[in-house]
A and B are shown apart, each in its own frame.
Chain A
Amino acid sequence: MEAARPVAVAARRSAWVERFGLPYFDGWMLAAAVGLIGFSCFTLAQATSDDIPGNPLYFVLRQMVYAIVGLALMFSVARVDYSRFRELRVGIYSAMIGAILLVLTFGAAARGSRRWIELPYFRFQPSELAKVLLIVSLAAFVIERTRRGSDPRQTIRLLAIGLAPAALIFLQPDLGTALVLGVITIAVLFLAGVRWTHFAAMGAVAAAAATLTFVALPAVGVSVLQDYQRERLTSFLNPSDDPGDASYQVNQAVIAAASGEKAGRGDQSTQTELNFLPEHHTDFIFAVIGERYGFVGAAFVLSLYALLVWRALRLLTLSKNLYGTLIAGGVAAMLMFQVLVNVGMNLGVMPVTGITLPLMSYGGSSVLVTFMAIGLLQSIHIQAQLSQRGSRAVDPLLR
């Protein structure tokens, strides 16, 4: 019986491993996500130690808790077959709209906008959660509608479904998240095969709307955007004009990021340490990385994102069904857009919109929701692997 013992141990270990579905996980994607959140904690530990007097670990400890909860959330979501969410689309969509309305009515206000719901130990930001919920429900609605042909009215209805939460979030006001929801909607419709002509029409309407918002309506005295929003959106075009708030932040972020040069300034990072760089633990954490760790560190972070996005895009063709493809596309678009806008803002080529850098920016809602989205991607990966093996029956995860 002596030979049997290792076998038993191996069997037990493999059962444990299989319980979490590890064999079918996308390892690269997991590595990218863990690498990013780990680097986030590492950076926060070094860069925010003076931010809260007497509590040097304030931000790190909290971010680590979010990371652990987020990873757990990711594993849980990954274990579920995402296809089940299709049937729940109406419920998911209603819950999302409800949460946004709730925050509009009862939310805690900060700097003139209502974005949070106060929970015990946690301020929850429904608009963050809305990203994932919209991806899951919109993809389902899209598939539902494809059965009814491809006429423009369908496109308009789907567009309305996608943009309704965006509009509500815009009213909070939270322009950044509203834009992310818009991008998700466009990406899902795009992958679903909406005709190019429909996109052309959308583009025309968007251009008209932009003209109205920025030029025509202000001229007659109606302002759609808050002053600070318009300033933020336009000031990046010529940041040195007025070193006022928005462009001051961008200028300082660019100085911080660029002054890191090749190898970074480490503890000599004056832009962060002396608070020239505002919001350095959230919106401007990429500039902190640039200053502290230089091109080496910043390029490393960018390549982790590239890895993550690549693994997500890979699922577009790997997915076992169109639903998975659309979800993967929505998540990939969300990640890409957030990275583009946030890093672009840190490097002075994008406007200040308050969009977080996924898994790097400090903040519970953002971290948890990003992990949920990655959990969805993992679920798509697992399901694709399982269906390829044609072994749905023996799937240990879906008993």
Chain B
Amino acid sequence: MYRHGHDEAPRRGTPLQRRASILGAIAIAVFAVLGLRLWYLQVLSGEDYRQQANDNRVNEIRVQAPRGEILDRDGKVLVANRTELALQVQPDDLPKPSTPERRDLMKRLARITGDTPREMEQEIAEVRKVSRSSPVILDRGLGAGNVFFLRENQTSFPGVSVERVFARDYKQGTVGAHLFGNVGEVTAEQLRLPRYSSLEQGDQVGQSGIEYEYDRFLRGRPGANRFQVDAMGRPTDQLNSQPARAGSNLRLTVDADLQSLAEGTLGSFGLPGAFVAMNANDGEILAMGSTPTFDPSIFTRPITERQYKALTSEETDAPLANRAIQGAYPTGSIFKVITALGALKTNLIEPGTIVNDDGEVKVGTQRFKNAGDAVNGPINMSDALKVSSDVYFYKLGYDSNVQKGKGGMIQDTAASLGLGEPTGIDLPAESEGLVPTPAWRNRLFKQELTDRPWAVGDNINLAVGQGDLQADPLQMAVAYAAIGNGGTIVRPRLAERVEDPTGEVLEEFESTPKRTVDIPEEARSTIMTGLTRAAMEPEGTSYPVFGNFPFPVAGKTGTAERGIDRADQAWYAVLAPADDPEIVVVVTLERGGFGADSAAPVAARILEKYFGLPITPTSRTGSAAISE
């Protein structure tokens, strides 16, 4: 201790003075720390914290907007809304996580939702990551039994409520199932995209099909019920709320009656297939479908893994696939018009040049034969199209073969007519298809993905739509439309216009051709004549189906080989009326055999319906095709 007298006043410079200074220094440090911290919080970061204070007090309940309806071209409602009851939890009001009460509650909820407690906890955690106080919907479409049970036992289900939510209501059943697509909760990844910038966790958006493509019109604007809450979450004041604005209606170019008939007719074969009926001049889709089909309302509920498998697996022929835009098929003889157009444009052959069809073409050791071992004798191009001579086109394929690069006139013509690229239809997930070229095959060969490089046989096969060619019905419809309309490559379109609920037009969609290609009139008329004769004249390939049609149509059958063990795929492409085509129809049926037997009758029924003619019963021709 200090050595000075115990009761003397301290003097400057003494040990005590030093210790007093230390205490003073500590005091300065204390106030400096507090002052700087105060400055940092209030002056430098005050704004952020002001925001946090506001987030604290403002409770916002999202009010979902009903989605717009989807109508057919005559205003018939295809997709509307219905309300259903959903099981919703407010995470803050549930028992605290990992308590026995929480586990017990989740176990009891699992019996209602059918999900495991783990799955539900994950879902809650995911929503909480994005917004802390948002309610989480755990199950939709609650049955009356569960609703009564929950309401009667509300006290033993803290934080659980039954809410009314919107769900899609498919007024025409399965009609148009492949077009609409499904609606679902916006995902965390989607929320990061500018497309969904105004949305929040829990909002519903179109996830596929038209619902996806035109989501910005159909979605509407969710409203918000905003109020001020105190620390206990009790509302203390109503703040300015924003009502939800319903989505706009979308009117399609599709004719529901035509669609329904086409789906029914195609479906009667029980085979996977697809059809497209399109305005040949502007690309408006009048009907488009795929079989097997599915019930679109299945997606208004959480879908089980087994259901999803059943919709996508090969054993069930993947009903979810829209074969009209996703099928990647060789097209068989309906491709011959492309070879014909290319040959005429490049003057490889004259319309009147006579070629002797003796039943086969020999290239080295390989023999390419006519289907059914037919021998057609001396024929010109129009004849060749009428009887679908393979030999005639094999020769064109042989003559136009190019061993390198993008290949010759067949590849050029196919590409110019839109094969090998998406058509640009207003649907997501369209396939590109493939026009085989020397460059393509040689690359595969280099990568050891195929056993040989490009050979002339490839070009011979391509000339008749066999081999490696991949196209879907919509691409073929676009190509045929171009021949029908004289060279316009249309951009197919499903949407007609956007309307408000009273029917007032908000936005009209216009046809924007992708491009035009030069189709010489002589070439066009030669091809149209050949196709018309094929449909209308005896010995024409589809004369049995169209011979009695009240006016001429221009149609081509196709029978694509799908490999040694698989049945042939039937195709039919038709422009009608033949003299001034306004509609193009393309139909394909996997395992459908000869085009004339299955695909052509479906096309015929579509045309009858479109032109308002009496519908011929399909059963005779249809069942004949299946028995083959």
Contact = CB atoms under 8 A, between A and B. Distances in A.
A193 B16 contact: yes
Interface residues of B, number: 46
Contacts of A22: none
B91 to A, nearest CB: 13
A271 interface: yes
B228 to A, nearest CB: 7
A387 B9 CA distance: 10
Contacts of B53: 255-256, 259, 270-271, 276, 291
Interface stretch (B17-25, B71-79, B256-264): B17-25
Interface string A319-348: 111110100010011001001100110011
A193 B45 CA distance: 43
A36 interface: no
Interface in B26-56: 26-27, 30-31, 33-35, 37-39, 41-43, 45-50, 52-54, 56
A255 B35 contact: no
B521 interface: no
Nearest to B45: A258
Given A262-B46, A313-B24, A322 B8 contact: yes
Given A146-B1, A313-B27, A332-B23, A302 B34 contact: yes
B10 interface: yes
B57 interface: yes
A4 interface: no
Interface in B181-234: 228-232
A144 to B, nearest CB: 8
A159 B154 CA distance: 60
Interface string A213-229: 00000000000000000
A259 B12 contact: no
Contacts of B12: 317
A321 B24 CA distance: 19
A339 B42 contact: no
Nearest to A328: B20
A298 B46 contact: no
A254 interface: yes
Given A259-B50, A298-B42, A302-B35, A323 B7 contact: yes
A164 interface: no
* Range class of the A interface residue count: 35 or more
Interface stretch (A65-73, A111-119, A165-173, A303-311): A303-311
A101 interface: no
A316 interface: yes
Contact of B31 (A191, A290, A306, A329): A306
A182 interface: no
A209 interface: no
Chain B interface SS verdict (over half): helix
A381 to B, nearest CB: 13
A141 B337 CA distance: 116
Nearest to A329: B23
B38 A347 contact: yes
B437 to A, nearest CB: 60
B1 A258 contact: no
B49 A258 contact: yes
A260 B231 contact: no
Given A259-B50, A290-B38, A298-B38, A317 B30 contact: no
B509 interface: no
Nearest to A332: B23
B33 to A, nearest CB: 8
A295 B41 CA distance: 9
Contacts of A320: 9
Nearest to B30: A340
B520 interface: no
Given A271-B56, A333-B23, A340-B30, A276 B231 contact: yes
B149 interface: no
A382 to B, nearest CB: 15
A344 B54 CA distance: 24
B6 interface: yes
A294 B39 CA distance: 10
B27 A309 contact: yes
A147 interface: yes
A257 interface: yes
A344 B38 CA distance: 9
Nearest to B53: A259
A192 B236 contact: no
B501 interface: no
Contact of A259 (B8, B38, B39, B52): B52
A319 B9 contact: yes
B377 interface: no
A275 interface: yes
B503 interface: no
B228 A316 contact: no
A154 B1 CA distance: 10
A261 interface: yes
B560 to A, nearest CB: 64
Interface in B50-106: 50, 52-54, 56-57
Given A274-B228, A317-B17, A339-B30, A295 B23 contact: no
13 contacts: A190-B22, A193-B1, A193-B15, A260-B42, A261-B43, A262-B46, A271-B53, A274-B230, A275-B230, A295-B39, A329-B20, A340-B34, A347-B41
Interface of B: 1-2, 6-10, 12, 15-17, 19-20, 22-24, 26-27, 30-31, 33-35, 37-39, 41-43, 45-50, 52-54, 56-57, 228-232, 236
Given A317-B20, A322-B16, A336-B27, 9 more contacts: A194-B1, A255-B56, A258-B41, A260-B42, A274-B228, A274-B231, A309-B31, A313-B27, A332-B27
Q: Which 5 A-B pairs have the closest CB atoms?
A: A261-B46, A258-B49, A258-B41, A259-B53, A275-B231
